[in-house]
Amino acid sequence: MQLLDGKKTSEDIKQEIAAEVQKMKANGEKVPHLAAVLVGNNGASLTYVGSKVRSCEQIGFESTLVSLPETITESELLAKIADLNEDDNLDGFIVQLPLPKHINEEKILMAIHPDKDVDGFHPTNFGKMALEMETFLPATPFGIMQLLERYQVETAGKHTVVIGRSHIVGRPMSILMSRKGYPGDSTVTLTHSRTKNIEEFTKNADIIITALGVPNYLKADMVKEGVVVIDVGITRVEDASHPKGYVITGDVDFDEVSKKSSFITPVPGGVGPMTIAMLLKNTLLARQIRARK
C-alpha cells in the first residue's frame, strides 16, 4: 500500500508555480493576481480564505481579499462581481461559499466571467471540460487527477466507481476519468445515495473516488484487493479523547480499507491540500491565457 500524499504533492506544485512566477518577474511580465470574495465572517470560510491568501504570498502571486458584510444585498454583490469582471488587474477570483441564505449562490456563480472563474464552476468551463478543451478544471477533481498522474496510477481501461454526484466533485470527476488521455480512458460508473446494492459496483472497482460526506462509509468488505482509493470526504466527528474535541474523518474506514489498497489518500493530508494548489494552478493558467490575447 502506498499513500497518495496530497500535502507533499501540493507543496511540490506550489514550488513549481513559484519558479514559474520568478521567471515571469525576471522577464518583466505581470505576475498572476487572485482575488477572494468573502461575505460575512463564517469561521470555516475565514480559515479557507486565509490559507488561500497565504498560499498566494508564498508563491509570489498578488492577492486581494474582498471582505463584504453579511448584510450585503444580492444586487450589491452582483454589482461587486461585475466590477471584478471588468478589473484588468485581476486574472481570476473566487467567491467563498457558503453565502448568506438571502443570496442565491447559483446566480452569483453564474455572474462570474468564465475567463476569471478559476474555481471552474461556470457552465461554460464545465462544458469545455466535457468537450476536452483548454479550461479551468474544478479545483478538487483537478487535484485528484494530479495525484493519480504524479504517482503514476494506471487508469486506462480501469473500472472507476465514483460515489457522489455533486457538481463540485462527483460529476466532474466522472467526466474527467472518462476523457481521452492520461489520467483518464477509464470506464466510469457514477453512483450516489439512490444507487441500490452499491457494493456490487465498489467490489468490482479498480479505482474508487468517494465524495459522499459520510464518515467511514466505505468498508473493507466493499472493496477488492489492490484497489486505488481516493477519499474526498471531510467530516468533523466528535471525539472527547482528542484535545480539540473532534477528529477529521473521511468517507473511508482507512485502517481496514488501506490493508487491501494499492494506493490510498489519507484524511486529512490527501485531497484537501491539493485543492488550494490547483486553484493557484488555474490562476497561473488564467494569466497565461490573458497574456496570449
Known binding residue 165? Answer is yes
Contact 246, 239 (CB under 8 A): yes
**Exactly one of 119, 231, 251, 253 is catalytic; which is it?**
119
State how far the Cα of 192 lies from the Cα of 194, in Å rounded to an integer: 6
State how far the Cα of 94 lies from the Cα of 6, in Å rounded to an integer: 22
Known binding residue 166? Answer is yes
Residue recorded with cell 476569471? 116
Known binding residue 181? Answer is no
State how far the Cα of 78 lies from the Cα of 291, in Å rounded to an integer: 27
Contact 99, 105 (CB under 8 A): yes
Number of Cβ within a 10 Å radius of residue 216? 17
116 is catalytic: no
Known binding residue 164? Answer is yes
**Exactly one of 14, 80, 96, 281 is catalytic; which is it?**
96
119 is catalytic: yes
What the block records as the C-alpha cell of 248 is 477529521
State how far the Cα of 269 lies from the Cα of 254, in Å rounded to an integer: 13
Catalytic residues: 52, 96, 119
Q: Point out the annotated binding site for NADP(+).
A: 164-166, 234
Q: Point out the annotated binding site.
A: 164-166, 234
